[in-house]
Amino acid sequence: MAERFGGKYSPQPGPGRDSGARDLGGREIAAKPPAPPRHPHENRPFWITLAAAPVLFTAFGSGPEWLARAIGAFVLIGLAAMLTREGLRAEAAYDARRVARRPAFPRKILGAILFGLGLGLGAQSPDMGLIGALAVGVIGAGLGLAAFGLDPMKNKGLEGVDEFQQERVARIVAEGEKYLDSMREVIAGTRDRDLGARVERFGATARELFRAVEEDPADLSAARRYMGVYLMGARDASVKFVEFWGQTRDAQARADYVALLDDLEANFTARTRSLIANGREGLEIEIDVLRDRLAREGLALAPRRSPQE
């Protein structure tokens, strides 16, 4: 019976290829990149736009004023739905991370306001009057806020961290994300699904390093070269590989590129593990210092337990 060949560069896991996950000091990086966080109500704004579609059917045959009002109302409701959906996505990303900054732009709040304006504009008529249309708009905005809630209004996990250092980390993480996005877009041009999945896995590994630095901005100096120079080099190597691969379809070039990703991923994993270990060591030092101070004052903390207990 024929057997599938399994090797280091085979699309499927086999002998000589790691098919599991890499442990990072108690955390894992899966071989398959994790799905991005999704809000459970992310698709509901679409149904709001769909429910407003009948306004367009009544826009014709009633004069230019009603035509403009109906189209304007539908556009406002559509924009409100779009902003609300983006706000839900931002909230899901905020909730999924232990350290996060509040969204700079309150999309859900503005979406609710636009939703109220759209309803008020669509409801305005001689029978309704301006006061009635305003009441409908206010009720619509309130329902939008009640249905989807407010945007996150404060930073999470950043108490006591220097704001200037936070800004530096945010800029460098954004730069690293651009390099990863460029790599993904360039490799997508090869139409090689296995190679695209390999790049996605490397991206997941790099983002673990990003998260470690965001949780402790003091680690930036130790990881900055990885998040900038090394990722820029990986992006440039990806561009060169795709150009050469498109001309030659050289299997050895593909194998060399995958080997480069393997080396980079191993180094990023080691650096992330090192940062986590250093953070744990710093915590243990702080605990020991606190214990000594309490002992000198005649107090004591609970006895330390070993991990096996």
**Judgement on whether residues 77 and 100 belong to the same structural domain of the protein:** yes
For 105-124, what is the mean pLDDT? 89
CB 66 within 8 A of CB 59: yes
Domains: count for the chain: 2
**pLDDT exceeds cutoff 90 at 91:** no
User: Is residue 201 classed as helix, strand or coil in its secondary structure?
Assistant: helix
Is residue 186 situated within a structural domain? yes
**Lowest-confidence pick of 13-22, 116-125, 245-254:** 13-22
Q: Give residue 248's identity as a one-letter amino acid code.
A: T
**Judgement on whether residues 171 and 221 belong to the same structural domain of the protein:** yes
Mean pLDDT value across the chain: 78
**Judgement on whether residues 126 and 248 belong to the same structural domain of the protein:** no
* Residue in 253, 233, 234 with CA at minimum distance from that of residue 192: 253
Is residue 17 situated within a structural domain? no
**Judgement on whether residues 213 and 290 belong to the same structural domain of the protein:** yes
**Judgement on whether residues 189 and 291 belong to the same structural domain of the protein:** yes
**Judgement on whether residues 110 and 190 belong to the same structural domain of the protein:** no
Q: What is the band of 124 on the pLDDT scale with cuts at 50, 70, 90?
A: confident
The pLDDT assigned to 30 comes to: 44
For 57-77, what is the mean pLDDT? 80
CB 151 within 8 A of CB 90: yes
For 149-165, what is the mean pLDDT? 74
* Residue in 153, 154, 145, 137 with CA at minimum distance from that of residue 108: 145
The pLDDT assigned to 11 comes to: 43
Is residue 273 situated within a structural domain? yes
CB 119 within 8 A of CB 111: no
**Judgement on whether residues 195 and 268 belong to the same structural domain of the protein:** yes
What sign results for the dihedral spanned by CA atoms 249, 253, 257, 262?
positive
**pLDDT exceeds cutoff 60 at 38:** yes
C-alpha span between 119 and 237 (Å, rounded): 52
Q: What is the band of 10 on the pLDDT scale with cuts at 50, 70, 90?
A: very low
180-230 pLDDT tens trace: 999 999 999 999 999 999 999 999 999 999 988 888 787 788 888 899 899
224 CB-contact burial (10 Å; exposed 0-12 / middle 13-18 / buried 19+): middle
**Judgement on whether residues 143 and 244 belong to the same structural domain of the protein:** no
What sign results for the dihedral spanned by CA atoms 209, 213, 214, 215?
positive
More confident: 9 or 286:
286
What sign results for the dihedral spanned by CA atoms 58, 61, 63, 64?
positive
**Judgement on whether residues 68 and 136 belong to the same structural domain of the protein:** yes
Which residues span the domain enclosing 214?
161-296
63 CB-contact burial (10 Å; exposed 0-12 / middle 13-18 / buried 19+): exposed
* Residue in 122, 119, 135 with CA at minimum distance from that of residue 68: 122
Is residue 182 situated within a structural domain? yes
**Judgement on whether residues 53 and 86 belong to the same structural domain of the protein:** yes
The pLDDT assigned to 161 comes to: 59
C-alpha span between 213 and 227 (Å, rounded): 10
- Which single residue is written with the structure tokens 């070039």? 253
φ/ψ of residue 73, rounded to 5? -65, -45
CB 276 within 8 A of CB 214: no
**Judgement on whether residues 202 and 246 belong to the same structural domain of the protein:** yes
The pLDDT assigned to 20 comes to: 42
Contacts of 77 (CB under 8 A, 6+ apart): 48, 49, 52, 114, 115, 118, 119, 122
Contacts of 139 (CB under 8 A, 6+ apart): 116, 119
C-alpha span between 309 and 303 (Å, rounded): 12
For 100-125, what is the mean pLDDT? 86
CA atoms within 13 A on the CB side of 163: 1
The domain boundary residue, chosen from 114, 148, 182:
148
C-alpha span between 80 and 91 (Å, rounded): 16
The domain boundary residue, chosen from 117, 148, 179:
148
**Global pTM value:** 0.59
C-alpha span between 9 and 198 (Å, rounded): 10
Is residue 12 situated within a structural domain? no
280-296 pLDDT tens trace: 665 566 566 566 666 66
Computed on alpha carbons and rounded to an integer, the radius of gyration of the chain in Å comes to 27
